Amino acid sequence: MKKILIVNASYYKDITDELVKSSSIILKKNKYKISILTVPGVFEIPVAIKKNIKKFDAFIALGCVIKGNTPHFDLICKSIFNSISLLSITYNKPIGNGIITANNIKQAKERCGMIKSGKPNKGAEAANAVLSILNNGPKKI
């Protein structure tokens, strides 16, 4: 049975709890073994994945970054997204990116399902992305 680690940045706990719930439902439904590791913020996600890279078949990064009035948002988002991509490519392990990047709290709540909006849940999107990589291989034609 394949093992997936969900790394959850709990800075916006009410939002990320919804992301964890939605991704866990999809993974359990598809019979994957799930572990959850909570870190304080999104900046800690890449190092948490790196420390556990040999123990799991795939990872899901969950968190939320809300834009403020300083360049911090842009710097953090770029750094985290680049780090996650580099880890995935370097170690040949799928990492689903379920980190919400929002201009305000309302947008974040829409992307985690707390507010009905028709927007997809980022946790579910990340879980489905990982499953598509784990379950799809080249097809002979």
Active-site positions read 72
Number of H helices, E strands in the chain: 5, 4
Residue 119's CB is within 10 A of a number of other CB atoms, namely 13
Q: To the nearest 10°, report the CA torsion of 109, 114, 115, 121.
A: 70
Yes or no: say if 97 and 61 are a contact pair by the CB < 8 Å rule.
yes
Q: Would you state the structure tokens that stand for residue 75, as one six-digit string?
A: 């710097």
Q: Which of 118, 122, 117, 103 is nearest to 15 (CA)?
A: 122
